[in-house]
Amino acid sequence: MVDVRVPLERRRGPHRQGQYGPRRGPVHSWLRKTDKESPNRDSSRRSVDRSRRWADSCGDPERLPWAFRHPLPAALVALKPAPPARGIRNRPATPGSPTMATLTTNDGVELHYDVAGTGPPLVLVHGWNQTAALFERQVAGLSDRFQVITFDLRGHGESERPDHGYRIARYAMDLHTVIDKVAGQPAHVLGHSMGCCVLWSYFDLFAGDGIKKAVFVDMMTHPIANPAFTEQQVADYGSILSPEAFFGVFNGLTAGAAAQVVPGLIDGMVTENISTEDKAWLLAENARMPGPLSAREFFTDILADWRDVPPRINRPSLYIAGEGSFIPISATRWAAEQTPGAQFESIPAGEGGNHFMFIENPDRFNRLVSEFLTTT
């Protein structure tokens, strides 16, 4: 029995032959054919060599979530998708009796939002595939000092799922609408993960109009690897995802296999100390967005280049990194260094400092945010 990897050029369209084993090996081991020697073995080796070079340019691949290192084979992405799960709603009540309501964007999409507390408005922007519900501990911990506004981006959580508008610039316009219609005055804004991209796009489009202070949580400015980058540039930009890994996840989501893709991603974004309940809650909220819509959002999120935006940010800014996150801490620090007058903080891995630090260590996270926003 010979183990031969199928080259990139043979991955187009449905596969009519061969047997595919379990997901294993490094990022380039997408498909395995075990029936006989492949006539394209030399081509396959060349494909593997290319992938290894990409992996080398991405730094330590073991820091990536499992699903990025083991893209789904075609046999898996053809599976019938699981029905979207409803988010776990029996969570502890938050103070301030949040007001739940909806607004309509200028392109006719209904967005769900919650408001809790009184004080200076603070708008929280969630990340890719997430929901506003995941900020419940920030609502609980910050609504005694701020009017905390959370909202589900289009296609997420309780918001409408239109067939258009899954682009970062459109999300930035939606954020502008939330600030204008809900806050009604300049607001502090916090973005997590893709939420940082929404903020960067907002500054790109509106030059910070309507924002008092900005908080950027754990995101890189140039996710996709480029073999022309130096090691220092990879570290600075956070360019850790190979095209192979990106399209492995994208194709899986497009084909409706989110139930197979997302858990592997989430596993690499939390610490081993996260509670069973919190992890189940996180997975349930992630399962609410249909896979094909999630794929469209993933495309615009990961392929963007935001390196030119931080130097033009004209509002007081704080960058927070998780030291155990798959996103290199050097990338968050670099973005902070490019932002005039920005502050940088990090949370150690042993203290819940992974990608979802605001869930795993809300007290430390909320304290960092509150101290920054209340300091003149």
What's the pTM value of the predicted model, to 2 decimals?
Answer: 0.76
- Specify whether 175 is located in the same domain as 318: yes
- Specify whether 240 is located in the same domain as 160: yes
pLDDT digits (tens, 9 = 90+) for 90-131: 333 344 456 789 999 999 999 999 999 999 999 999 998 899
- The pLDDT score that the predictor gives to residue 98 is 64
- Specify whether 158 is located in the same domain as 26: no
- Specify whether 250 is located in the same domain as 302: yes
Residues 6+ apart with CB under 8 A from 227: 53, 54, 57
- Specify whether 34 is located in the same domain as 143: no
Residues 30 and 5: beta-carbon distance below 8 Å: yes
Phi and psi, residue 211, nearest 5°: -110, 130
- Specify whether 50 is located in the same domain as 69: no
Residues 6+ apart with CB under 8 A from 368: 318, 320, 345, 347
- Specify whether 173 is located in the same domain as 106: yes
Residue type, 81: P
- Specify whether 235 is located in the same domain as 280: yes
Q: Which domain holds residue 340?
A: 61-376
Domains of the chain: total: 2
- The pLDDT score that the predictor gives to residue 287 is 84
- Specify whether 98 is located in the same domain as 19: no
Q: What are the Cα distances from residue 138, in Å, to 124, 226, 248, 364?
A: 9, 36, 33, 11
- Specify whether 299 is located in the same domain as 265: yes
Look up the CATH number of the domain holding residue 141.
3.40.50.1820
Domain boundary residue, one of 12, 28, 57: 57
- Specify whether 224 is located in the same domain as 258: yes
- Specify whether 290 is located in the same domain as 361: yes
Give me the residues of the chain with pLDDT under 50, please. 1-59, 61, 66-67, 70-96
Domain boundary residue, one of 30, 57, 84: 57
